[in-house]
Amino acid sequence: MNKLTALFVMFLLLLTFSINKIVSGTRQQLRNNLNGKVLRVVTGHFPPVISVLRNSSGHIIGYGDKLYHHLLYLSEKLHFTFVIFPAAENTNGIKQNGTWNGVIGALTRDEADLGLVPVAISLDRHEAIEFSGRVGGDYTGILVKYPHGSVSFTSAFDVFSPGVWIGWVVSAVVVVVISTFLTYVTRRSHLNEESGTGPGTFAWYLYSVMISQGSYFPSRQPSQKLLAATWCFVSFVFVNIYNSTLTSYMSVTYQKPEVNSFYDLAAATSYKATILTGSIQEIDLMESNNWAMKIVADRIEKCSSDCKKFSVQELVLPLLDNKDYVSILPVRIGSSLMQKYNSERVKCRLALAYEKTSWLPMFFAVQKNSPYHEEINRE
230/296 same-domain check? no
Q: Is the pTM of this model over 0.75?
A: no
166/235 same-domain check? yes
339/373 same-domain check? no
**Cβ atoms of residues 131 and 62 within 8 Å:** no
175/191 same-domain check? yes
pLDDT at res. 250: 59
> Could you tell me if residue 5 is inside a domain?
no
> Could you tell me if residue 19 is inside a domain?
no
> 148 φ, ψ to 5°?
-75, 145
SS3 169: helix
Tell me the residue range of the domain where 162 lies.
Answer: 155-251
Ranges in the chain, pLDDT < 50:
1, 23, 26-28, 30, 191-195, 213
pLDDT at res. 142: 93
pLDDT at res. 151: 57
Of 251, 286, 315, the domain-final residue: 251
How many structural domains compose the chain? 3
192/218 same-domain check? yes
341/374 same-domain check? no
> Could you tell me if residue 239 is inside a domain?
yes
**Per-residue pLDDT tens for 320-337?**
887 889 999 999 899 888
How many CA atoms lie less than 13 Å away from 165 in the CB half-sphere? 8
CA distance 320 to 327: 11
Task: Using CA atoms of 12, 15, 16, 18 in order, give the dihedral in degrees to the nearest 10.
Answer: 160
What's 294's domain CATH number?
A: 3.40.190.10
Concatenating the DSSP letter of every residue in 24-40 gives HHHHHHHHTTSTT-EEE
pLDDT at res. 191: 47
What's 199's domain CATH number?
A: 1.10.287
CA distance 367 to 71: 17
Beta strands per DSSP E along the chain: 38-43, 51-54, 60-64, 81-86, 95-96, 99-100, 114-119, 129-138, 140-145, 272-276, 308-309, 325-330, 350-352, 360-367
pLDDT at res. 76: 92
pLDDT at res. 228: 63
> Could you tell me if residue 286 is inside a domain?
yes
Of 232, 251, 270, the domain-final residue: 251
> Could you tell me if residue 10 is inside a domain?
no
285/328 same-domain check? yes
198/105 same-domain check? no
> Could you tell me if residue 1 is inside a domain?
no
38/128 same-domain check? yes
> Could you tell me if residue 22 is inside a domain?
no
> Could you tell me if residue 59 is inside a domain?
yes
112/51 same-domain check? yes
Of 234, 251, 268, the domain-final residue: 251
230/179 same-domain check? yes
Longest dimension (CA), the chain: 112
229/318 same-domain check? no
